[in-house]
Structure 1
Amino acid sequence: MENLDFKKKLTIMVAVMSALLFAALNMTIIGTSLPKIVADIGGMDFYSWVFTIYMLTASTTAILVGKLSDIYGRKPFILTGIAIFTIGGLLSGFSNTIIQLIIFRGIQGFGGGMIMSSAFTTIGDLFSPRERGRWQGLMGGVFGVSSLIGPTLGGVIVDNLNWSWVFWIFLPVGVFAFLMILRLYPQVEKKAGEKIDYFGSITLAVAILSLLLAVSWGGNDYGWTSIQVISMFLVFFVSFSLFLWIEQHVPSPVVPLNLFKNRIVSVSNLVSFLSGVGMFGVIMYVPFFVQGVLGRSATVSGLTEIAMTLSMVAFSTIAGQLITKTGKYKHFALIGFLLFSIGLFLNSTLSTESSLITLIFYLMICGIGLGLTMPIFTLTVQNAVEHRYLGVVTATSQLSRQMGGTIGVALLGTILNARMGKQLNEMSIPTSLEGMSIDPSQLMNPSLLMEPGEVELIRSHVPHESIAIFDQLLSSLQEMLSASLSSVFLTASIIIGLALIVTGFLKEIPLRESNEEKSM
């Protein structure tokens, strides 16, 4: 595919980026829409599973498809992924219960994992490592655009149309991408002598699923020392150990372990993992500060994060272009992680007295740093191995970032809850508020800060002479949440600082001018 004329390559990339945009928009649009969807179909207790099931199925599928696409080519998997994703989206719009929605989102996850894995690997098929930087940057820009459009559009749809259109509105984009790829994407012959590693695939899938379930449940649905969480960690340990043994004894392993003997691959994947912690950490917990500490609306929270997204998209594109032009990439990563760590540290200094403008400025620093690093670590692993390993090594990079985000959000959530719990234990409800008809536990729940309507409802039950005391209690909760979020951002800053240090050990090798050249 590297020898195709540029016009055809460009057309294929438009189709692939359309497929990626289709998947990314469907991931981002649901965030602002889900509260109203759940209000309509019920199932608040299973709210988080709409996200969790997608993450589980997408992460597992992506790593398995990586190897299979090296054997059979990318075309069958990206087409299958679009078809499955489209069907899942169509069915999601017809959901009558939360269980149906969870099942259909799980189906979408299978398709989404295929699309993500195949899309990033396609860049490696079409372009030499030296040319890939600009395209990796543009792919990062696709995620940025989806982050800009998705949440806002989701809110507009549920406010003005039936919520089903959240899942249906982008289906034509998927159909367009499917037809374009079907027509233009070349099919390659199956590699002779390659066999599917069924046992390795099964044990790897069980290992990924059990680990993600453990970190998703821990501190949220169950305690970290609960039998449910411990049993999932035990399943992970056993299945992963079995997976490693199988991979050493099969002729065509689903994840060739010799890849990790390559220092560039190992370092890059570790950095991707650490980067995922910081990236998902800031995305998840900035809204807590905007809404809970500053008392702004969810709409303002979304608009605030746009500042980070715009700077990320701009500098991801710029970095990609400069990497292609210069052939150098390590210094972009070092500068990026330094800025990202500084931005997170500055976030940790925010307080209840901080302005929204100050937060936006700090988020722009985070976005610039994140943007500079985004095109790099998929590129480094692709450049470090032979082309026949392109799919599987790309999938390991994507999985590392996803696992980092999942585990990181769980870790940072544990830190937030522990800090808040300690402060709440030292706090008591003023005696003048104890006789109210409202459950006192509601007044000690920091999540109350995220629901302005609920705050006003409770305020209406507060005796007039106790309003000032009630407001003081809310201020105390805001200060507690602010201090706890400072710990979260400081931890994320340290982790990104660690990514900076690990990046220092990355060996920078010349970007190959052709896919036919062997790795160094």
Structure 2
Amino acid sequence: MEHLSHKRKMTIMVAIIAAMFFAAINQTIVSTAMPRIIAILGGMDYYTWVITIYMLTSTISTVLVGKLSDIYGRKPFILAGIVFFIIGAFLTGLSKDIFQLITYRGIQGIGAGIIMASAFTAVGDLFSPRERGKWTGVMMAVFGFSSVIGPTLGGWIVDHMDWEWVFWIFLPVGVIAFILIMALFPRVDKKQSESIDYWGSLFLTLTIVPLLLGFSWAGTKYAWGSAQVLGLFGSAIASLLIFIVIETKVKSPVLPLSLFRNSIVTLSNSIGFLMNAGMMGALIYLPFFVQGVEGVSPTYSGYVTMPMSISMVVISAFTGRWITKTGKYKRYALLGMPIMIAGMILMAFMNSIWLAVIAMIVFGLGLGFGMPIFSLTVQNAVRPEQLGVATASSQLFRNLGGTIGIAVMGTIMATSLKRSLTSTAEAGGGLDFSKLDPKVAEQLAAFKNPEMLLDQPKLEHLKTTLPEAVQPILTKMIEVLRDALSTSLTTVFLSGAALLVVALVLVLFLKEIPLRTSNRMPEQAGGAEKKEKEDDLPGAVAKQV
């Protein structure tokens, strides 16, 4: 599609951006609203599952659609992704308990994975790697804009409306995106020589599902050394080995192993994995600090995360333009990663809303420099016919990192919280209810659960029902809970910073090759008489430039 007129490309980009915004806003709008929704539906123990199932299904759909879109084109998959997302969002608003919420969020995740994989790949079809720098910045700005209005709007909705509207309010945008894609996006004929790798797809799925389930349940539902968790990890390893054997034999593998002989692809995907593990695993718990520790309402909680999104939007837009102008990208990753680490360390030691805001601004600046880079490096290092599967591999590793990060950080938080509460009780910080009226003691027992800190209307209501003489005891209990929650969150944010440090080290080893000014490879452009080996693609690109 690189040959299309500029006007046609712009109209297609409008359609792509509409689809991406629909998916992105429905992700960000739940961030500040989810603690309240969980408190209403119950099931604090399953909080991470609402996020994990979304990441799990989106991860699987992303990698499967990557290869299929190389065969059938991007259009049918973007349309299918929008339909899945609309259905999932509508059903999520009808949830009566935490298990329905988890199920329907899984359907949403399928749609999100398809939309994101197809949209980023479509941009690669439309523009050369050099031009993609600018458009990658624009697409990151779409995510940033949705991050600006999403959390604030989500908090406002649960404060002033029924929580169901968190999932329903943007459904018309999905319908508009569907119509735009249907009308504007060109259809591509199926590649007759390509076949579908059914067995590879099956065993790739059988690798991802038990792997993520194992990380999600380890340390929470089951012990890390339990038969259930070890069985899941063992199953994932066995499926992975079978998958590798299949991919070496099939004609058109769903995830070609030759991609990973390219050092740029391997390092970029590893950095994306670590970056998302640290970032998502920590940021998903930021509302716990704002709402649980500081007692801020969900509406104003969104205002705390807004500076991060604004700084990311501004910097990512400039970064995209700078990359397009210079053809260089590594310098921005080297600048962004340390700034992200500094922001995460600030989060670990924040003790006020203002410090949280400063941490958000710093972290957003780092995101703006670093986030647009690693999908671009992967796309620049592969042949056009592998664009879909290469982009999907990048999304796969980011999603895996985010999902595993959320699960591991959830385990870290739960373990640290339990340890903090236990140590407080052993140090004499616990409270003796034996001398209180049994009914009052029963009411106070509800405040032993940190989940209570996230439902402030319920917290205030219970306060008013207790005798005045008991109020000092209640105040003490809330202080203990908030101190324990704050301590556990410090551990979470420091763990996220450690992962980002490892990612920064890998960036140092990332080989930089100039961004191509065409989607054609050297031999296709006539710039080389001898065809370069696919496994040595970076060398071919460097010679072309």
- TM beyond 0.5: yes
Q: Is the 8 A contact 2:379 2:387 kept in 1?
A: yes
Structure 1 match to 2:310: 310
Q: Distance in 1 between matches of 2:294 and 2:7?
A: 50
Counterpart check, 1:379 vs 2:376: yes
| Bigger Cα displacement from structure 2, 416-425 vs 322-331 | 416-425
What is the deviation of 1:30?
3.6
Structure 2 match to 1:360: 357
Structure 1 match to 2:203: 203
Identity of aligned residues (%): 50
Equivalences for 1:319-398 in 2 at 5 Å? 319-350=319-350, 354-398=351-395
TM, length-normalised to structure 1: 0.91
| Bigger Cα displacement from structure 2, 58-67 vs 286-295 | 286-295
Q: Is the 8 A contact 1:438 1:458 kept in 2?
A: no
CA-atom RMSD in angstroms: 2.7
Q: Is the 8 A contact 1:219 1:410 kept in 2?
A: no
Structure 1 match to 2:398: 401
Q: Distance in 1 between matches of 2:184 and 2:509?
A: 41
What is the deviation of 1:273?
0.5
Q: Structure 1 residue aligned with 2:407, among 410, 420, 426?
A: 410
Residue identity matched to 1:498: V
Q: Is the 8 A contact 1:424 1:444 kept in 2?
A: no
Counterparts in 2 of 1:452 and 1:369: CA distance versus 1, 3 Å: same
Q: Is the 8 A contact 1:432 1:466 kept in 2?
A: no
Q: Is the 8 A contact 1:9 1:126 kept in 2?
A: yes
What is the DSSP-based 3-state SS (H/G/I as helix, E as strand, rest coil) of the residue aligned with 1:427? helix
Residue identity matched to 1:314: V
Q: Is the 8 A contact 1:382 1:390 kept in 2?
A: yes
Counterpart check, 1:438 vs 2:435: no
| Bigger Cα displacement from structure 2, 368-377 vs 484-493 | 484-493
Equivalences for 1:269-288 in 2 at 5 Å? 269-288=269-288
Counterpart check, 1:505 vs 2:509: yes
Structure 2 match to 1:220: 220
Q: Distance in 2 between matches of 1:489 and 1:82?
A: 34
What is the deviation of 1:320?
0.9
Counterparts in 2 of 1:406 and 1:45: CA distance versus 1, 3 Å: closer
Deviations 1:359-411 (Å, cap 9, x if unpaired)? Answer: 21122111100111111000000001111111111111111111111111222
Structure 2 match to 1:483: 487
Structure 1 match to 2:526: none
Structure 2 match to 1:82: 82
Q: Distance in 1 between matches of 2:204 and 2:144?
A: 30
Deviations 1:116-166 (Å, cap 9, x if unpaired)? Answer: 100011111000000101111111111122222233333444555555544
Counterparts in 2 of 1:98 and 1:291: CA distance versus 1, 3 Å: closer
Q: Is the 8 A contact 1:433 1:462 kept in 2?
A: no
What is the deviation of 1:198?
0.4
Residue identity matched to 2:122: T
Deviations 1:215-269 (Å, cap 9, x if unpaired)? Answer: 2222333333344333222221111111111111111110000100100000000
Structure 2 unpaired stretches of 5+: 523-536, 539-545
What is the deviation of 1:456?
4.5
What is the deviation of 1:51?
3.6
Structure 2 match to 1:61: 61
Deviations 1:392-446 (Å, cap 9, x if unpaired)? Answer: 1111111111111111122222222333322322222555544333347545444
Q: Distance in 1 between matches of 2:156 and 2:292?
A: 23
Q: Distance in 1 between matches of 2:209 and 2:105?
A: 16
What is the deviation of 1:189?
2.3
Residue identity matched to 1:483: T
Q: Distance in 2 between matches of 1:156 and 1:304?
A: 13
| Bigger Cα displacement from structure 2, 247-256 vs 501-510 | 247-256
Structure 2 match to 1:517: 521
Counterparts in 2 of 1:195 and 1:298: CA distance versus 1, 3 Å: same
Q: Is the 8 A contact 1:433 1:470 kept in 2?
A: no
Q: Distance in 1 between matches of 2:441 and 2:416?
A: 26
Structure 1 match to 2:533: none
What is the DSSP-based 3-state SS (H/G/I as helix, E as strand, rest coil) of the residue aligned with 2:209? helix
Q: Is the 8 A contact 1:344 1:362 kept in 2?
A: yes
Deviations 1:294-342 (Å, cap 9, x if unpaired)? Answer: 2322323221011111111111111111111111110100110011111
What is the deviation of 1:9?
0.7
Q: Is the 8 A contact 2:327 2:514 kept in 1?
A: yes
Q: Distance in 2 between matches of 1:460 and 1:210?
A: 46
Structure 2 match to 1:249: 249
Q: Distance in 2 between matches of 1:415 and 1:99?
A: 23
| Bigger Cα displacement from structure 2, 146-155 vs 70-79 | 146-155
| Bigger Cα displacement from structure 2, 234-243 vs 371-380 | 234-243
Q: Distance in 1 between matches of 2:420 and 2:43?
A: 31
What is the deviation of 1:506?
0.3
Structure 2 match to 1:128: 128
Deviations 1:31-84 (Å, cap 9, x if unpaired)? Answer: 455567678878777665544333222110100000111111111211222223
What is the DSSP-based 3-state SS (H/G/I as helix, E as strand, rest coil) of the residue aligned with 2:285? helix
Counterparts in 2 of 1:246 and 1:489: CA distance versus 1, 3 Å: same
Q: Distance in 1 between matches of 2:456 and 2:10?
A: 48
| Bigger Cα displacement from structure 2, 428-437 vs 373-382 | 428-437
| Bigger Cα displacement from structure 2, 159-168 vs 410-419 | 159-168
What is the DSSP-based 3-state SS (H/G/I as helix, E as strand, rest coil) of the residue aligned with 1:438? helix
Structure 1 unpaired stretches of 5+: none
What is the deviation of 1:516?
0.5
Counterparts in 2 of 1:105 and 1:348: CA distance versus 1, 3 Å: closer
Residue identity matched to 1:78: I
Equivalences for 1:38-187 in 2 at 5 Å? 49-93=49-93, 101-158=101-158, 163-187=163-187
What is the DSSP-based 3-state SS (H/G/I as helix, E as strand, rest coil) of the residue aligned with 1:189? coil
Q: Is the 8 A contact 1:12 1:181 kept in 2?
A: yes
Give the count of matched residue pairs: 517
Q: Distance in 2 between matches of 1:88 and 1:431?
A: 45
Counterparts in 2 of 1:445 and 1:85: CA distance versus 1, 3 Å: closer
Counterparts in 2 of 1:484 and 1:514: CA distance versus 1, 3 Å: same
What is the DSSP-based 3-state SS (H/G/I as helix, E as strand, rest coil) of the residue aligned with 1:412? helix
Structure 1 match to 2:478: 474
Counterparts in 2 of 1:78 and 1:457: CA distance versus 1, 3 Å: closer
